A = this chain, B = another copy of it.
Amino acid sequence: MSTTSKATKLSIVTEKLNEQAIERIVMEAGGKGYTVFDGSGRGSHSTKTRDRASVVGAFSLVKIEVIIADRAVADDIVDQVSAGYFGDFSGIVYLEEVEILRREKF
């Protein structure tokens, strides 16, 4: 099999309205890409969305996944997202170790 190397997968689950701003942080901090999935839920990532849902009739979360070869870049994104979005808005962020191929892509 092709050689793999370790990298960090960063997952950010937040209200959909934060999506574009967080994607900008990811790319400006040095991320080389991301994938976004629509979801729903309950908890500290969505309390305020649920409140608003009673008004606007919709309630949605996104999970933004970013795989990053350089842990320092991942940490920088975590810090920026936490500082900028998880005070007034709701969200969670978590990190996992993954194995990747073609390290130069991440």
Contacts and interface: CB of A to CB of B under 8 A. Distances in A.
Nearest to A86: B102
Interface residues of A, number: 45
A102 B65 CA distance: 19
Given A32-B44, A39-B36, A96 B95 contact: no
Given A33-B45, A34-B41, A92 B67 contact: yes
Given A35-B41, A42-B33, A75-B1, A93 B98 contact: no
Q: How many copies does the complex hold?
A: 3
A27 B43 CA distance: 10
Contact of A95 (B27, B45, B99): B99
Contacts of A75: 1
Given A9-B96, A38-B38, 16 more contacts: A1-B75, A1-B76, A1-B78, A2-B82, A7-B94, A9-B94, A33-B42, A33-B44, A33-B46, A34-B41, A35-B63, A36-B41, A37-B38, A37-B63, A93-B101, A96-B97
